[in-house]
Amino acid sequence: MTPSSGSGLEVRDVSVSYGGIRALRDISLRVEEGEIVALLGSNGAGKTTTLRAISGLVPYSGSIVFDGKELRKSSPDHIVRLGLGHAPEGRRVFSRMTVLENLMLGAYTVRSKQEIDDRLAFVVQTFPRLEERLSQSAGTLSGGEQQMLAIGRALMSSPRLLMLDEPSLGLAPIIVQTIFSVIKSINERGTTILLVEQNAQQALRIANRGYVLETGSLRFEGTGAALLENPAVAEAYLGVAIENIK
């Protein structure tokens, strides 16, 4: 079935080279409206590059279609306007600005005051911790709070598809749990999610489907449960012994 109108994303035969070195080789994947799709793989497998290509931040060959529109000729700011939010790798909050200023920058593409207020209400409802810290400078937040801010900031532009690049990176296990349950709840309230992770178990538990990348190429794809149960995937790419999963 083809994705219904809105937030469907289709990546077709996308290749990216950095100065002669192929970082991505003919990647094809799709995210359908309302899904959570996990993109897994070890360091250097091309996960971040895939997201950057989708956001228009690196040049690529192939085709990426979002909501029926070809993105290849679009600038990064136009892609945000089309409804693709991207919380970057390593959080990259504006550490010298306050939490509120960070969120306002997230709403940079939104012109309507009313819509900004609505989005802010949505974000603080999603992350009550941020509401307590709105006037605090972002650099003083804990790692988990910064991740919440990075996600909150990406949500401010009302994305229909939200891309998250390793939201669990460097966080304590208990915070990781919180972040993943929030991701699930954001999805349940209508935002399609493409999740890049190294923490494969956690990601596949909330994902509808997943893709596994290895050195720039797609190796496996399937439903979250199927990938979790696939011993080859678990052994080779998820870095966990099979016993631990069960």
100 forms part of the interface with other proteins (CB under 8 A)? no
Task: Rule CB under 8 A: choose which of 22, 72, 81, 219 binds other proteins.
Answer: 81
57 forms part of the interface with other proteins (CB under 8 A)? yes
Q: Output 146 or 191, the one with its CB closest to other proteins.
A: 146
- The site that binds other proteins (CB under 8 A) totals a number of residues, namely 30
117 forms part of the interface with other proteins (CB under 8 A)? no
Distance separating alpha carbons of residues 152 and 122, to the nearest angstrom: 9
Distance separating alpha carbons of residues 99 and 68, to the nearest angstrom: 35
4 forms part of the interface with other proteins (CB under 8 A)? no
207 forms part of the interface with other proteins (CB under 8 A)? no
Nearest to 127 by CA among 107, 106, 101, 155: 155
DSSP 8-state assignment for residue 140: G
CB of 243 to other proteins, least distance (A): 38
Burial level of 84, CB count in 10 A (0-12/13-18/19+)? buried
Distance separating alpha carbons of residues 114 and 31, to the nearest angstrom: 30
Residues 6+ apart with CB under 8 A from 155: 85, 106, 119, 122, 123, 126, 162, 186, 191
Task: Rule CB under 8 A: choose which of 119, 133, 153, 160 binds other proteins.
Answer: 153
Select the span of 24-32, 106-114, 173-181, 226-234 touching other proteins (CB under 8 A). 106-114
112 forms part of the interface with other proteins (CB under 8 A)? no
55 forms part of the interface with other proteins (CB under 8 A)? yes
Query: What are φ and ψ of residue 168, in 5° steps?
Result: -90, 0
169 forms part of the interface with other proteins (CB under 8 A)? no
63 forms part of the interface with other proteins (CB under 8 A)? no
Other Cβ atoms closer than 10 A to 116: 19
Could you list the residues that contact other proteins (CB under 8 A)? 55, 57, 75-77, 79-81, 86-88, 92-97, 101, 104-106, 108-109, 137, 139-140, 146, 153-154, 157
